[in-house]
Structure 1
Amino acid sequence: MAPTTTFDRTRLLPRSGIGVDGPWLVIAPPGNPVIRLDSRLLDRVELIGRSPTAPLIWSGVATAGVAAAALTIIPGTIFACAGFAYLAYERFGEARRRSRSRDLLLALGDLEVALHVADGPEAAKGIAEQLAPYTRDAPITRPEVYEDAKRRMRAQAEGKGEATARREIEHALLVGADVVYLRGDYLQVGQVAFRITEVREYALRGANLPLTGGRLLQAAMGLLVVAAEERASAGEDVNVLSKRIADYEAWSGHSVGR
């Protein structure tokens, strides 16, 4: 079922304009309509951070430089030691900052979309923790997710898996009241259409799709709909779905019996 197109913006993170409404990821930057993505479409929602490897390497090099300079008895050695020590400290500090620089990773098949959360690592973690239980790779822990999985399993057994999957995509991504969907070789956003090849080019540049009225949609976000259509055609992995259902039934039955 499609969500309402209005949302209380006071419930959003103040800097990034990102929030959660049940299984829906809500993105509402200032001046743009509310964008909604159904996380039940995704395989995973994870946290990512910039790699701290390079700063740590430079920190190690600088530390080694301190030791070497300290063993060298030449004028200016003390200044060399101080300089290397500062570099080691600065690089190590950068590595720590990078390890805490968290963004969201939205994954569907081979497609991974990064979403920056300007409000910091704890805010990003909170968003990920709220959405992850609804995704398709996560263990089932909620009754509503279990019922959704059972519904998809029944559809597969009845030979209606592809049709059911396509219905799920119909309102999985919205920009305001405009539905994002595929129409042949085009990605349609309300009344505006983009060639899929064009959307991929925008996404590779990390750019937004320009919509009417100055509105924007992250191009990579639009590609999630393309990836979902491809998965619908290929069919869901029934073995994975069956195992998730069985694991939940075993867990919930044990919990009830305690």
Structure 2
Amino acid sequence: MHLYTYDGSFEGLLTVVFEAYERKAWPTAIEQQHLAQPSMFGETVAVPADEQKAQRVWQGLQKKLSGGALKELYHTFLWEQPGFEQLIFDYIRLAFGSNENIEGNYAAPCVLQVQQAAKQVHREKHRMEAFVRFQKTSDGLFYATISPDFNVLPLIVRHFEKRYADQRWAIYDTRRRYGAYYDLQSTRLINLELPPQQRQATVAAAALDAEEEGYRQLWQVYFESVNIPERRNPKLHLRHLPRRYWKYLSEKQPQSLR
């Protein structure tokens, strides 16, 4: 039995793949170092991330998989559900061990699971792009918090870079405690340790720009004016806009609820 631990990065996970092939010792489990529990049976192998080794694995995958499949593999990494590392390893091992393209081999459980995980992440990405609402702070920064089911922050950065290229903005993932900051030139991922009272969907009133409340009320008035009570369909509404996303939307704040 072989437990491999890594630093939690995608490069680190690809390095685990390299090391497993180098040792010819397939993992029975792969865990992040800060989450791993000492194993009473078998061997625990701590694998430091190595960019060159990770690149060699990625280049090998490029020869075996299409661009779409490579994207699905990365999306599965962002999926973060229990066992996702082992799922990725099994998929990669199947790809390297086959002379044919495996992308349509749904008889292999890992192929179907990777596609399903990627679809879930892709859906969450689009919802975050649609539902994120920024609040303008007193120093001119547009700030938003998110708490997505999956780690989609790296996937939505490009969308907001294009949409708000002329504004400084920051998006903070309260669940994973890191964010993205755009300074009008480039975006960088940042780690923040905010106190619990700041890990919420709204900015404290004292930190907001003086006009922010007026804009929020204006949006609520607009939403109410275009809403047609006779055409309300709560079930359809919840299907397209699940309740867990309401905390991001100005029109769903207490002042506009019915």
The alignment's TM-score, normalised by the length of structure 2, stands at: 0.24
Higher relative contact order, chain-length normalized (CA < 8 Å, sep 6+): 1
Higher strand share: 1
**Bigger-Rg structure (1/2):** 1
